[in-house]
Chain A
Amino acid sequence: MVENKPWATVLAHLFLILGVAMVAFPIYVAFIASTHPAGSFVSGTMPLLPGGEFWNNYSTVITEGRSRAGTPPIGLMLWNSLLMALAITFGKLAVSLLSAFAIVYFRFPFRMLFFWLIFMTLMLPVEVRIVPTFQVVADLGMLNSFAGLSIPLIASATATFLFRQFFMTVPEEMLEAARVDGAGPFKFFKDILLPLSITNIAALFVIMFIYGWNQYLWPLLITTDQSYYTIVMGIQRMVTAGDSEPLWHLVMATVILAALPPTLVILFMQRLFVKGLTETEK
């Protein structure tokens, strides 16, 4: 039998608690910094306990932002991020469900060609084709719009593959029974495939929401109008704008607000998150 030494278990717990604390430390520091008044870091030592400016700082960033530094109120940026994340998520789910349905349940000329076309998007992340993609979006007049923020990111090879894999495991009898009962493709898709895929859809939803919320380079490129800024890129504007040291207490309040929604999604939907993560990356 494997030996079970009490001291080893205690040591393991010790390391883990230390590790968890280390992993959480950056966010803790950010939270502490966000509860202090403006001048308290300049003295050189950063306080390690919360200060009394919580409400003040957070209401400042949410309603006013830093208009002089060129960022709109955080409330607006949060809203933009939410809209973009949801548009990307629902868009990706819709187009990949439909194309997986077509690829699995129909036989038609050029099927493989389309499959490979979709597959190729895996190999072309935005980062490697920045300039020409920007030009396309500019030519289409989609700069500074939610369409421009979301549509170019909607195509998804991973989601299409996942749904294809899943549809392949749906028993043949389902379709046979549906056809005997006279169901057409739409009825079959809506009443049988969608309800069966609901767990997969939810798991992908979690992953894609985080993906959409955390978009950085893309919104940075195509938004010049402040009213379309998203929160993740807005933080960069706050840190680099102006010559003086950034107003760290407000920056950190923004960081906390920007990190909160995706973190809550992970914590409350941990099981779906793990499922989504391990299945999309296979």
Chain B
Amino acid sequence: MQTKRMTFNHRWLPYALLAPQVIITLVFFIWPASQALYQSLLRQDAFGFNTTFVGLANFIDLFSDSLYLNSMRVTLIFSVSTTLLSMSISLFFAVLVNKMLRSRDLYTTFLVWPYAIAPAIAGVLWWFMFNPSIGILSYMLQSIGFDWNHRANANHAMALVVMAAAWKQISYNFLFFLAGLQSIPQSLIEAAAIDGAGRFKRFYSIVLPLLSPVTFFLLVVNIVYAMFDTFGVIHATTEGGPAQATNILVYKVFRDGFIGMNLGSSAAQSVILMLIVVLLTVVQFRFIERKVNY
């Protein structure tokens, strides 16, 4: 990594400039992460008096624990559905808005603001609309004969948190898709039109392939969002229920660590989550290096 050709010469100043960031990183990031790594190899008795070194036993327990495996499955379903739902709606909006000339900015304004809503608030909003006794949408569903109850039905609860999480993410995906669409040369689309390709043919064989870098980028970002930033959606609404149906990994770490007080297991879960983040970050950065070639 290069610097400027000409730099300042100073013995201690660069360290002083880096100090605030590095100290915060060491104290609040690296140290806790190493603690998680360390604690994941220990086991405490119920009262916290005795700690014994148990090696990888916490990890082995996790992978044979049906609750943890269930949580993994739930996380997978949740993040894939949130990502697909949010990205397809956003792509649809972006394609339509991209056609507009005068009204483009207006529609953009109306579609970007949900980014401002905190995940927890998004959760509460949808929780309220689908509230089985007073919610407006559950009332509508009831009037067409559909009995909605996210407090008892696992699928309903999952659908609810997916909708809330996807709704909040629409603006983000929309902005990136719109930027991607605008960078596609109009001449390619015109050439295809002259060759007789219709509206849908043009979309599938020209627009979609040229959007693939943006799509792939968003795929990774959305999975990361759904896995780690949606804690608020779950915590403010279903709290992992009913019967573990929405207990995603991030929520389970919190529950086991703070409510269950099972530190060893919680630390092991943290370590697994860190590995997932590292993996996703590597995927994302490899992609960014490749983007240059497109």
Contact = CB atoms under 8 A, between A and B. Distances in A.
6 contacts: A29-B129, A106-B3, A118-B21, A131-B36, A131-B253, A136-B31
Contact of B257 (A20, A122, A130, A160): A130
Interface string B104-147: 00011111111111111110111111000111100100000000
Given A151-B24, A176-B6, A15 B96 contact: yes
B116 A263 contact: yes
A125 B228 contact: yes
Contact of B288 (A26, A105, A118, A282): A282
Contact of B25 (A104, A117, A184, A262): A117
A175 to B, nearest CB: 5
A241 B147 CA distance: 27
Nearest to B8: A185
Interface in B81-118: 89, 92-93, 96-97, 99-100, 103, 107-118
Given A130-B258, A151-B28, 20 more contacts: A16-B93, A26-B125, A95-B21, A98-B20, A114-B18, A118-B25, A127-B250, A128-B250, A131-B258, A131-B270, A132-B36, A135-B32, A152-B24, A168-B2, A235-B120, A245-B133, A248-B128, A273-B112, A274-B175, A277-B115
Given A20-B107, A262-B116, A9 B99 contact: yes
Contact of A267 (B17, B109, B254, B273): B109
Contacts of B109: 267, 270
Contacts of A213: 118
Contacts of A245: 133-134
Nearest to A14: B96
A194 interface: no
Interface residues of A, number: 108
Contact of A172 (B4, B17, B89, B119): B4
Q: Which size class do B's interface residues fall under?
A: 35 or more
B172 interface: yes
Contacts of B189: 2
Interface of B: 1-8, 10, 13-15, 17-18, 20-22, 24-33, 35-36, 39, 89, 92-93, 96-97, 99-100, 103, 107-122, 124-129, 133-136, 139, 167, 170, 172, 175-176, 179, 189-190, 193-194, 199, 221, 228-229, 231-232, 235-236, 239, 250, 253-254, 257-258, 263, 266-267, 270, 273-274, 277-278, 281, 288
Contacts of A140: 27
A181 interface: no
A179 B6 contact: yes
- B22, B111, B120: residue with the most chain A Cβ atoms closer than 10 Å: B120
Contacts, number: 297
- A19, A104, A134, A281: residue with the most chain B Cβ atoms closer than 10 Å: A19
By secondary structure, the A interface counts as helix
A282 to B, nearest CB: 7
A136 B32 contact: yes
- A44, A94, A137, A217: residue with the most chain B Cβ atoms closer than 10 Å: A217
Interface string A73-114: 000000000000000000000111011011111111001101
Contact of A105 (B7, B39, B115, B267): B7
- B116, B122, B266: residue with the most chain A Cβ atoms closer than 10 Å: B116
